[in-house]
Structure 1
């Protein structure tokens, strides 16, 4: 494979692949047509974008008449799917054009999961004793869901939830780690269209989270030894998963006192909350099989703190059993005023735009607080509100300097696979661990390096226009000159060769390849929602026209080069 050489100068957030790369700089050997096409285009500036468990059951509302289908063009449908789907094909674009955004969302809500993560591992024999102390099966399991499943919206929302409720397989020990992760991910994916309170409950009793944030085996304070309960989960449950560091208005803006943000909790609150997360242990003994990892953790009364606990207005009387204490804490946090804006803003950031307006956050947060039928935390209503909001669907945002987001590397990879029908006939899905920033895409699903994920929601690349405008660009935290070059090189290899048995199908593009303008128009629509400018397309066309199409091999070279060029384009990388 011909690699793309590193540019001598580039500023992350300002320019990617800032210099044209000549064939001589790439290799002493003759360059491939794709490498030549990349070199010929030079590079373009990348200016980045900038059931409710705690309440009573409401009386069911009358079934409303279905909303009218709002007509969408193919470009609008592609843009919508870029926000809503983990990846999509030309047929999916046509489906959205036919049904409208709301109709497509409702259809996605009705799709049952074709296979759970746990069931994939069992069905493919990864529960063999030889795999006890390995992570065998984990990467194929992830890619089989992301690339192979038809529930495109659930996969996208599941990944957004995993970006917030982080557990990374490389961050905890023990046996059967792939199965531990499978059980954890099934909680997020199963409840992606459920209620946020149920996510809180499922995660809080899951062994993988117990291992990752070290409260499995957590014991109450010992006055003799001076030991105190582990505080990891108590802190992150508040800081990262529910209420955040500071008090928020309903529109996600900070509550200020004397011009300063007001902390939402204190260290004393963490210490009190940690008492609740004591006594947690496996539901069954023995680890010869992975089965106990699928069971919710239980509470050992002998090591659980039973003294009175109080924090953030939550009061737990002395002698309260562990399960009841957990319910009181989770209900209290779930009903905290911060939860609707805190959760809503992060979901918007993962799906639509890094810098949503306060009005956008406020509209979605209001739906989180009450779905219209008195239910708090209804994920279906929240997802629908995010994706159909006027700010998300406003086509004029495509020219905005503050709207949009850098596409996550994993989403880019899966989009390519979905667009070109990648399958894995024997379920090997041999893409492996893609976390390396030196020769992969700098992100791997389920492999976040810490509980703070691959990138933080408030990250701003320093010394950039983004920073000077007071904006955030979370995904730029894993973006650098080397990582961009690695991404282009890796995608070039996949686009040309596939990954083992997982290979793309470009047959739908064959008849277009003789007309490079038509080929680029199709790829611009399919991959970039027509957001690549005419000037950029003209550069690409000039490069593609240097590739002979006198043979079938030449036609395929032109198709592959066109896909690489589009997926390396800054106007593709930034979704608006």
Structure 2
């Protein structure tokens, strides 16, 4: 397998290091694309860092341990955040992040930039910039990471927001909604989701009407089905540790077609609220949908062994239905496991899932669904904080392309001088990342939580690897070519600041050690480092242009390393 190269970082014309840089960059591409390095053991837990239940001491957290924690809990590992983790401890850092105020909304940024002009009604203009801007710059980095995780569990995609116009504002409002509930209660989140204009558009229950015997029409079942299958209880009944319940050796289904039909009756009569406004501006998109009683099914609705009685208003029937679903014992293990997968590891042990699910069911104050408590349980669990061991089967996860990109952007202090953040849609797997915020191809996300790469060692080991569903020959090479250009020249007006690393550049060992720590949590092993150092030491040094070129090459080598791509 070979990777093409383009936009090689080039020094001034009088400097001959450009050819060497091109050679090193090609080597970086081959390193990741062809698996040309052996993974090495990551850093062991330092003697002063201990894990007792979910209590982690603040003392003696190494740089690598702090960076690994941030790779799970934040949009990136940055020197400032590493120092904060070491000063506050893991739990203290989480508390400090919980206490940070929200960092403004995507909606308000779109308005401030004039995207609410009528000429933009039928375009997506501004959304990608608004989304990337927050992922890269917002100080509440934990909130952004959780918002991204929730957007991949409760999915809305901008391309599916049809029928009303203002897709950029619908998508922005959706991310703002998830962010507003990221540290709240999961039941409250379900309520907000179920009246969201974006969700009403995406899963087509906006404008849904009760059955009409005269025409034979029935309520749209899209949202009723996915609310159960994807957002709350899943397809099979679960034990408290997330393992399936079996009857005669076969998993037991959670619901059937009649349950979907019964629940769909609840989601009739909901539509946009145009009171005092119109579709000429996007303002109505931000409002919850309202009930139109003439379209709502007022008869009883039965599902999951329960019945919402007749005669309730549409709003009351919705709350009763959500309470029934939320009370299902599957919710805690089903959502807990997916949060672990999005933040920590693809294959959590049943014991890990059980511990987090127990906190989901009771945060210690008899509150169910407290996401702050659940997130602490996920990130402070012994399996999340134990020292890395390369010999542990199933440990870790493939980094999503979006997180690889934000890892570079935040560590490199990328900024947009014009505040336009013109990164754009990065979905193309051949030329960009193969993934972009809120651009999933379907309600099933970019990848499924149970995806198993066929004919692989992962499959043979009985493991899952969700992110590998978007990893293929095209996306591997596309990512490397895209990041080669990004590392060299940025993206549009989004430019990096490498000044902190330039003083290290003449010493390849020191430079690589710093980038290994900050970007890869110290997990790049000796064999891979030897290959990298060989490439870096072959490059000229001693001038600012040469130092900059060395930093660029070292960055791409790290971003291409197998031990960076797979976080353990």
Q: TM-score of the superposition, structure 1-length normalised?
A: 0.91
Aligned to 1:545: 537
1:45 deviates by 5.2
Range with greater deviation from structure 2 (285-294 or 518-527)? 285-294
Which blocks of at least 5 consecutive residues in structure 1 are unaligned?
Answer: 1-6, 9-16, 24-29, 49-65
Any idea what SS the aligned residue of 2:168 has?
helix
User: For 1:259, which of 233, 249, 263 is the aligned residue?
Assistant: 249
Corresponding position of 2:97: 108
Q: Residue 83 of structure 1 corresponds to which residue in structure 2?
A: 72
Cα offset, 1:310, TM superposition: 1.1
Q: Is the 8 A contact 2:25 2:484 kept in 1?
A: no
Say which of 108, 125, 142 aligns to 1:119: 108
Within 2, Cα distance between the matches of 1:77 and 1:167? 33
Give the SS at the match of 1:364.
Answer: helix
Once superposed, which parts of structure 1, at least 4 consecutive aligned residues long, lie more than 6 Å away? none
Mapping of residues 275-314 of structure 1, within 5 Å? 275-284=265-274, 286-314=278-306
Match of 2:152 in 1: 163
Deviations 1:280-333 (A, max 9, x none): 111116200001111100111111111111111331111211111100111111
**TM-score between both structures, scaled by the size of structure 2:** 0.92
2:321 match: 329
Name the residue aligned to 1:223: 213
Alignment counterpart, residue 35 of structure 1, candidates 19, 22, 26: 22
Structure 2: gaps (5+ residues): 7-16, 40-54
Q: In the aligned structure 1, how far is the partner of 2:328 from the partner of 2:95?
A: 29
Q: 2:295 is paired with a residue of what secondary structure? A: coil
- Of the structure 1 ranges 142-151 and 398-407, higher mean CA displacement relative to structure 2 is found in 398-407
Question: Any idea what the Cα deviations from partners look like across 1:244-279, whole Å, max 9, x if unmatched?
Answer: 000000000000000000000001100000000011
Counterpart CA distance in 1 for 2:307 and 2:389 is: 46
| Residues in 2 aligned to 1:265 and 1:528: alpha-carbon distance in whole angstroms | 43
Among 249, 253, 274, the residue aligned to 2:239:
249
**CA-CA distance at 1:47 after TM superposition:** 9.0
Aligned to 2:307, the other structure's residue is in SS state: strand
Match of 1:185 in 2: 175
Distance 1:22 1:347, change over 3 A: closer
The total of aligned residue pairs comes to 537
Match in the other structure for 1:436: 428
Aligned to 2:124: 135
- Alignment RMSD, CA only? 1.8
Task: Report 1:471-550 matches (<5 A).
Answer: 471-550=463-542
Q: Which of 344, 347, 351 in structure 2 is aligned with 1:352? A: 344
1:71/1:100 contact within 8 Å kept: no
Distance 2:405 2:68 in 1: 17
